[in-house]
Structures are given as C-alpha cells and as structure tokens.
C-alpha cells in the first residue's frame, strides 16, 4: 500500500513538473523571439497567455507544501508564489501600461531561467530518481544572479504601476457602501511592496542554505 502511494505521488509530481516546465519553456522561447523581432516592448504581448498559465499553476505548490507532498516549507513557498501571482495578475494583467517597460523583460528573463531549470530538475528527479550534477549546480546557483534581478524588476514594476492605480481607481472600494468597508488598491500595493524588505533576506538566506546543503551532498555522491 505504501509503495502504491509513493508511486502515485512520484507520477503526479513528475507530470506536474513537466507540464509547468513546458509552460515556462514556451514563455522563454516566445520572449526570445519577441526580443529578436520587435524589441522589449513586444515581450509581454508575446508571452502573456503562457505566463498566466505557468505562473498560476504554481498555486498547486502551496498545496503540495501544506499537505506534505514535498519537503519545501510553507514559510518559503507561500511568499514566493504569492509575490509572483501578485505581479502576474495584480500588476501586469491589471495595468497594461506597464507592458512595454524594459523591467518586464529583465523580470521574465530571471523568472524563465529559474523556472526552466527548477521544473526540469524536479521533473527528472521524480521521473528517474536522480538528477545530473550539472543540473544540480544550475538549480542551486543561478538564483545568485536571477533572484536579485527578479526582485528589483518586480518592485520596479509595482512602482511604475502606482500612477495608473491612482488614476484608474481599479479594485478600490469607496465609502459609503453596503459592506461599510474601505479598500484602496494603491495602499495595498504599497504595503505589498514594503514586504519585500523583510521577505527578500529571509528567502535569500533560505536559498543560500539550500545551496550549501545540496552541493555538499553532490560532492559526497
């Protein structure tokens, strides 16, 4: 019985990781073509559909962590996925005025590199029970550059969207209303952006510790 459960888990995670890998591979390939043909202004239009799919699928990783399907702690998984979803839906999808900014391209480059490597790493691991040493190194090393670039790009895009939030009043709930509740998306986004200050060092330290542990194990095998 335990063997059947383990097999089902590996099969599910293998399929999940390969599907999302294909999503991010399509994002990356579409971005490259758009950059070469039309420049960074055309990147978002080329990748939008694939990005919305690949990034939204990551919601499942929060559930995987909560139910213990994977070893990743909720404390690291939740802020990473929540932040990505906020940028994807709450900024890029919600405010088209941000689409042509070069920070979209820098962010997608860092996200694409990270996720193509990460999902292929876990896809191979769950499918075959091992991962090549070069992929282990990439999995636990590329974040050194990609994570800061992605973080700066994300914060920059939130800031760029501020004037459009204020002008449009999108997602705001003004008083009076039947719920007697006030909500301003501009201040919510500003608060969300401020959370990067404590969250960034926390996640960076977590990934550095992961890297040290993973590479030390790789040397002994």
Contact 207, 143 (CB under 8 A): yes
Is residue 119 part of the annotated active site? The answer reads no
Q: How far apart are the first and last CA of the chain?
A: 30
Distance CA 180, CA 81 (A): 31
Q: Which of 12, 147, 196, 206 is catalytic?
A: 147
**Dist. CA 6–CA 91, nearest whole Å:** 39
Does 97 qualify as catalytic in the annotation?
A: no
Q: Are 138 and 117 in contact (CB under 8 A)?
A: yes
- Please pick, among 61, 115, 126, 154, the residue that the annotation labels catalytic: 154
**Alpha helices for 68-142 (secondary structure H):** 74-85, 102-128, 133-139
- The residues with which 173 forms a beta bridge, in sequence order, are 183
Helix, strand, coil distribution of the chain in percent, nearest 5: 80, 0, 15
Asked whether 51 and 107 are in contact (CB, 8 A), the reply is no
Catalytic positions, please?
147, 154
């Amino acid at each position: 019985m335990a063997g059947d459960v383990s097999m089902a888990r590996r099969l599910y995670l293998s399929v999940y990781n390969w599907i999302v890998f294909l999503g991010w591979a399509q994002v990356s390939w579409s971005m490259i073509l758009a950059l070469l043909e039309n420049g960074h202004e055309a990147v978002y239009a080329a990748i939008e559909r694939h990005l919305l799919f690949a990034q939204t699928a990551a919601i499942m990783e929060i559930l995987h962590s909560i139910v213990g399907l994977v070893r990743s702690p909720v404390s690291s998984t939740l802020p990473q996925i929540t932040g990505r979803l906020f940028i994807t839906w709450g900024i890029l999808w919600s405010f088209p005025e941000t689409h042509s900014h070069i920070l979209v391209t820098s962010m997608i480059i860092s996200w694409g590199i990270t996720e193509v490597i990460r999902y292929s790493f876990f896809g191979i691991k769950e499918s075959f029970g091992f991962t090549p040493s070069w992929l282990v190194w990439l999995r636990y090393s590329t974040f050194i550059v990609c994570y800061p670039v992605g973080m700066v790009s994300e914060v920059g895009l939130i800031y760029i969207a501020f004037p459009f939030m204020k002008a449009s009043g999108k997602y705001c709930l003004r008083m009076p209303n039947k719920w007697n509740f006030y909500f301003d998306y501009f201040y919510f986004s500003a608060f969300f952006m401020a959370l990067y200050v404590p969250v960034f060092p926390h996640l960076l330290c977590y990934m550095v510790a992961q890297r040290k542990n993973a590479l030390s194990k790789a040397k002994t095998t």
